[in-house]
């Protein structure tokens, strides 16, 4: 029976470990560098790690599929069974969580207790190297061994990662969700026993340290983001970096600097739901920006739409009003990008449509009919008075064949 110490080789591992260090798994020398939301191993690191490690063990599923010939019924052609996607363990130390993926799909998510700041869990790319039921623990300070049972800190399952670092159960369940170990990753006993039954020798393990996580909620594809505390002091996070990560999911314009600043200050790991994103098409052509649904309202990029249908578009910031060749409607300035509501695209651009079966927001041209949509009388008089004092020329796009000034377009639209 193997004895586990969970700390004896931690220092040597962090200096000479065989697995490549991920972009998200920074050490203290790298702590000032920004970290990507989703870390991917560089090809050369992954190759080097594979060369030093033993070949992966064949999973039971793969072995069974190889051993059994395809079955046939009568003269029907043999049915080829679809190969199941492989499993992968992905651990985010900043989030204190372990996710199990089948291909790109997250199938399990468990809380864990990683190493303390003084004995941090090493980041990198590894694989399951050993599995053991009822392991024995050896105290790294005293050398005293504790056999399996209620007093054993390893619980009843051990999944070896590298050297004396592993994933295991615990006799101290209150520690889960904190940084408590000598470098191992503790789990609730029921969780580690389930994980143990699912993974095999050779299952890949990715350990990262990502304070910012952006993903789509599995229930309805709403983009949600989290910012976790910097327990190891390895990763600083800036507002602009968070905006870039959100922009990668198409919602960068829908979260203000103030909201992000507040979330960074809190760094509590709680979810913030932003909105749903739909690829935007006009007359069959994909536009650069997306449609975004937030708080029950769907916003569309106004300038993109104007360029797509060759319509002049102006912006009256004091009235929060978009003015096109065809009409006017309420506008929204989100980080210097103008949006309109989906219900106003007919008025502004003579377009109509909505979300299709592929979850695309698709618009097409409709008959050129002018829709009456005047400003309230008080705002109209205010706008006309300002136009007499000083002509507004808030040109944003000039894709139309019309050569009328935007003031002329506005005055015609408000008659």
The first and second tokens of residue 369, run together, are 């009919």
Residues 6+ apart with CB under 8 A from 320: 330, 331, 332, 333
Neighbours of 105 (CB within 10 A): 9
Question: With bands split at pLDDT 50, 70 and 90, how would you rate the model's confidence at 218?
Answer: confident
The answer, yes or no, to whether residue 342 has pLDDT greater than 60, is yes
Which pLDDT score is estimated for 84?
83
Work out the widest C-alpha separation in the chain, in whole angstroms.
Answer: 91
Task: List active site positions.
Answer: 168, 184
What would you report as the CA-atom Rg of the chain, rounded to the nearest whole angstrom? 29
Output the CA–CA distances (angstroms, integers) from residue 89 to 31, 225, 379, in the order listed: 24, 21, 59
Residue 314 class from Cβ within 10 Å (0-12 exposed, 13-18 middle, 19+ buried)?
A: buried
Query: Which tops the pLDDT comparison, 412 or 267?
Result: 267
Query: Residue by residue, what is the 3-state secondary structure of 236-258?
Result: CCCHHHHHHHHHCCCCHHHCCHH
Q: What is the mean pLDDT of residues 331-347?
A: 96
The answer, yes or no, to whether residue 372 has pLDDT greater than 70, is no
d(CA 211, CA 250): 20
Query: What domains sit in the chain, N to C, each tagged with a CATH number?
Result: 3-57+84-208 (2.40.440.10), 212-274 (no CATH), 280-413 (no CATH)
Residue 372 class from Cβ within 10 Å (0-12 exposed, 13-18 middle, 19+ buried)?
A: exposed
Check if the beta carbon of residue 137 is closer than 8 Å to that of residue 2.
no
d(CA 409, CA 415): 10
Check if the beta carbon of residue 211 is closer than 8 Å to that of residue 231.
no
Q: What is the pTM of this model?
A: 0.70
- CA–CA–CA angle 340, 342, 348 (5° rounding): 60
Would you give the distance in Å from CA 276 to the centre of its chain? 13
Which pLDDT score is estimated for 14?
35
Which pLDDT score is estimated for 264?
97
Which pLDDT score is estimated for 98?
98
The first and second tokens of residue 358, run together, are 């592929």
Strands (E), 103-154: 105-111, 124-127, 130-133, 136-138, 145-146
d(CA 207, CA 93): 7
Output the CA–CA distances (angstroms, integers) from residue 56 to 59, 89, 128, 160, in the order listed: 9, 15, 9, 14
The answer, yes or no, to whether residue 149 has pLDDT greater than 80, is yes
Neighbours of 127 (CB within 10 A): 24
The H or E element that residue 201 is part of is none
pLDDT, mean over the chain: 79
Strands 204-208 and 87-92 turn out to be: parallel
Q: Quick: pLDDT tens for 255-285.
A: 999 999 999 999 999 999 999 999 999 999 9
Check if the beta carbon of residue 361 is closer than 8 Å to that of residue 385.
no
């Amino acid at each position: 029976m193997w004895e586990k110490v969970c700390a004896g080789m931690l220092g040597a591992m962090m200096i000479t470990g065989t697995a490549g260090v991920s972009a998200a798994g920074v050490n203290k020398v790298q702590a000032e560098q920004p970290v990507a939301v989703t870390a991917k191993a560089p090809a050369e690191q992954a190759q080097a790690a594979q060369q030093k490690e033993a070949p992966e063990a064949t999973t039971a599923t793969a072995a069974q599929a190889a051993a059994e010939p395809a079955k046939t019924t009568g003269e029907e052609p043999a049915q080829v069974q679809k190969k199941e996607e492989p499993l992968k363990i992905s651990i985010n130390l900043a989030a204190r969580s372990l996710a199990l993926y089948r291909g790109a799909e997250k199938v399990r998510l468990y809380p864990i207790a990683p190493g303390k700041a003084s004995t941090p869990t090493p980041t990198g790319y590894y694989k399951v190297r050993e599995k053991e039921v009822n392991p024995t623990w050896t105290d790294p300070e005293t050398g005293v061994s504790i056999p399996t049972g209620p007093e054993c800190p390893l619980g009843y399952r051990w999944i070896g990662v590298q050297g004396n670092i592993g994933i295991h159960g615990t006799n101290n369940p209150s520690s889960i969700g904190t940084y408590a170990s000598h470098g191992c990753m503790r789990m609730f006993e029921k969780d580690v026993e389930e994980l143990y039954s699912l993974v095999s020798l050779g299952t890949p393990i990715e350990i990262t340290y990502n304070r910012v996580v952006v993903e789509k909620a599995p229930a309805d594809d709403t983009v949600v983001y989290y910012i976790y505390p910097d327990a190891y002091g390895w990763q600083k996070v800036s507002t602009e970096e968070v905006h870039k990560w959100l922009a990668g999911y198409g919602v960068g314009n829908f979260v203000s600097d103030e909201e992000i600043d507040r979330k960074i200050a809190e760094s509590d790991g709680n979810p913030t739901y932003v909105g749903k994103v739909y690829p935007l098409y006009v007359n069959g052509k994909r536009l650069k920006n997306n449609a975004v649904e937030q708080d029950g309202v769907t916003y569309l990029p106004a300038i993109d739409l104007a360029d797509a249908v060759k319509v002049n578009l102006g912006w009256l910031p004091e009235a929060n009003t978009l003015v096109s060749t065809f009409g006017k409607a309420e506008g929204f300035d989100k980080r210097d990008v103008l949006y309109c509501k989906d219900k106003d695209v007919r008025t502004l651009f003579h377009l109509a449509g909505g979300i299709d079966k592929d979850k695309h927001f698709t618009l097409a041209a409709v008959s050129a009919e002018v829709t009456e949509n005047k400003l309230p009388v008080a705002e109209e008089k205010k706008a006309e008075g300002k136009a007499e004092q000083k002509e507004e020329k808030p040109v944003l796009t000039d894709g139309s064949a019309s050569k009328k000034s935007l003031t002329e377009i506005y005055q015609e639209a408000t008659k």
